Structure 1
Amino acid sequence: MTSERREPASDADERTMLEGWLDYHRRTLAWKCEGLTDAQLRTAPVAPSALSLMGLVRHMAEVERGWFRKVLVDDDPGPIYYTEEDRDGDFRTTEADTWQEAYATWQAEIEVARRNAAGFRLDEMSRGKHRRTGERFSLRWIYTHMVEEYARHNGHADLIRECIDGATGD
């Protein structure tokens, strides 16, 4: 695997730094999926977990949608992969699920996230509320949470990728 990721400049302003780290972690997840077949991307190599690289990408599409659509701008287009009956549906893949669809959906959600965030100041509170807590969040908090969310799942992606083909890297 080769990486074209760049860390944000160490002297960047706060917004550039937060957006830079979020993009860095988005690219890290894409990098962990590079060069694999659909079957490999659907592979859940650590039993009994159903966690796969494709499942992580589908999950992050849902997370992008949840924070940057539902919470930030109060737009609820509904879930992509999960249902009320199957809250983990984003992680459950079948042979019918393809990388092309999962990747395109994820990238589309990232583009909407970028557009929606561009209309907010870092300290501006979200228009929508968290579905469980009813809280509003600043864009700064959402960016920080998203960096944490990607970083945690990129750790999972590291382990899954190593189990699939032995590839490692930060």
Structure 2
Amino acid sequence: MAADLLSSLDLARRDEPTPQLDVHASLLDWLAFQRHEFRRKWRDLSPEQLAAWSVPPVELSVLGLIRHMQQMEHHYLTWGLGGGERIETYGDDDYAGGSAATVEEDVRLYLAEVARADAAIAAMPALDAPGRGSGAPLSHLLIKIIDEYALHSGQAHMLRFAALGRVQR
């Protein structure tokens, strides 16, 4: 059940990464932090609440953001860095698609993509190394995905409150 999968995630509050001079390590710390914060927005939500378009008429749900971030992880990191086949798992149906019945599979796909993206990052020799898929350097792609998480975590935060019907931090 999706509740078991979601309850297995570490959703404890974390502090922002500590400042450091190693830019590579700092970017990886910020990526880990932003991914974690994005996942924290899922806590306390049932599959129905995850899939709800809780701010009508906006066709957007927390689940839609999970699906979107799976595609962003693939585009910018897995494919962008590692090359191979570029896959659009959901196509244009990421934000508005999904349902309570697809939550578990969508979350599994997202988590698997993050693992593949981490492997692609680990295979890069330096921040200025170009990705085999996009040709963009690792540094650019890390900054882009961190920005994607910051944007969509904010959206997920508001959608979470709307789905719960209250502010619950």
TM-score between both structures, scaled by the size of structure 1: 0.85
How do 1:40-51 residues align onto structure 2 when only pairs under 5 Å count?
Answer: 40-51=49-60
**C-alpha RMSD of matched pairs (Å):** 1.7
Residue correspondence of structure 1 range 46-125 to structure 2 within 5 A: 46-82=55-91, 87=92, 89-95=93-99, 97-120=101-124, 121-125=126-130
Amino acid in structure 1 at the alignment position of 2:59: A
Q: CA deviation at 1:77?
A: 4.9
Task: Tell me the percent identity.
Answer: 28
Q: 1:36 to 1:51 in 2, by over 3 A?
A: same
Deviation at 1:154, TM superposition (A): 0.8
Whole-angstrom distance in 2 between the partners of 1:12 and 1:104: 35
Once the two structures are TM-superposed, the CA of residue 4 in structure 1 deviates from its matched residue by: 3.2
SS at match of 2:18: coil
Measured in 2, the distance between the counterparts of 1:16 and 1:66 equals: 22
Count of residues paired in the alignment: 157
Distance 2:74 2:27 in 1: 18
Extract unaligned runs of 5+ from structure 1: 130-135
Aligned position for 1:139: 138
Superposed displacement of residue 94, structure 1? 4.3
The answer for the alignment partner of 1:132 in structure 2 is none
Residue 20 of structure 1 is matched in structure 2 by 29
Structure 2 residue aligned with 1:162: 161
Question: Quick one: which amino acid aligns to residue 91 of structure 1?
Answer: Y
Q: 2:132 aligns with which of 119, 124, 127?
A: 127
| 1:5-16 equivalent positions in 2, closer than 5 A | 5-11=14-20, 13-16=22-25
Aligned equivalents of 2:87, 2:41: Cα separation in 1: 28
Cα separation, 2, equivalents of 1:4 and 1:104: 22
In the TM superposition, residue 18 of structure 1 has moved relative to its aligned partner by: 0.5
TM-score (norm 2): 0.85
| Aligned mates of 2:73, 2:130 — CA distance in 1 | 17
SS of structure 1 residue aligned to 2:105: helix
**Is the CA contact (8 Å cut-off) linking 1:64 and 1:113 kept in structure 2?**
yes
Q: Which has the higher helix share?
A: 2
